[in-house]
Amino acid sequence: MAAIVVPTIWLLLVLTGFCIARFVYQVPVPIERFIPFPMAVVPTAFGLWNILYVKLHSHWHHPVGLHGMALPLFLGPIGFVVAAATGMARVVNGGLVYFDLVRVPYWYLPIGPFVALAVYYLIWKYLVGYCNRVLDLPS
């Protein structure tokens, strides 16, 4: 439960931003197509990943940041497949297009996994580690 707190709070903030952008400023972002995957999968994955960390910690002592850094290796491909299957991401000349709003050039794609690994390492080291310490879990 400690790890579920971090993505749940973050997703509530992101959803609030999307709602304000869409309904107040009339930005054509289809949240109903975007938000189900992160709202359903990410907190659950964080929780299950933290359960795995607590279980493994009794046999193999490794830092929580390194453990969390491995999670985007599973979530990234799953998220990309869901985005492509639902039509949120599509390939055009010279890059990927998300929501018909954001265009990502191909040469950015090799950088993405390293950024995700760094962000997840920091989230797990500081935020999830703090939540684990509050609940007296290994951190």
pLDDT tens-place string over residues 20-30 = 988 899 887 77
Contact in structure between 11 and 43 (CB atoms under 8 Å)? yes
pLDDT at res. 101: 65
Contact in structure between 92 and 104 (CB atoms under 8 Å)? no
pLDDT at res. 94: 67
Condensed to tens digits (0 to 9), the pLDDT of residues 62-99 reads: 899 899 999 999 998 888 888 888 777 777 776 767 65
Euclidean distance between CA atoms 69 and 129, whole angstroms: 13
pLDDT at res. 23: 87
Q: What is the mean pLDDT of residues 30-49?
A: 83
Euclidean distance between CA atoms 30 and 53, whole angstroms: 35
Condensed to tens digits (0 to 9), the pLDDT of residues 111-127 reads: 988 999 999 999 999 99
pLDDT at res. 72: 94
Whole-prediction pTM: 0.83
Euclidean distance between CA atoms 42 and 16, whole angstroms: 17
Q: Which two tokens stand for residue 27?
A: 């930005």
pLDDT at res. 117: 95
Condensed to tens digits (0 to 9), the pLDDT of residues 125-135 reads: 999 999 888 98
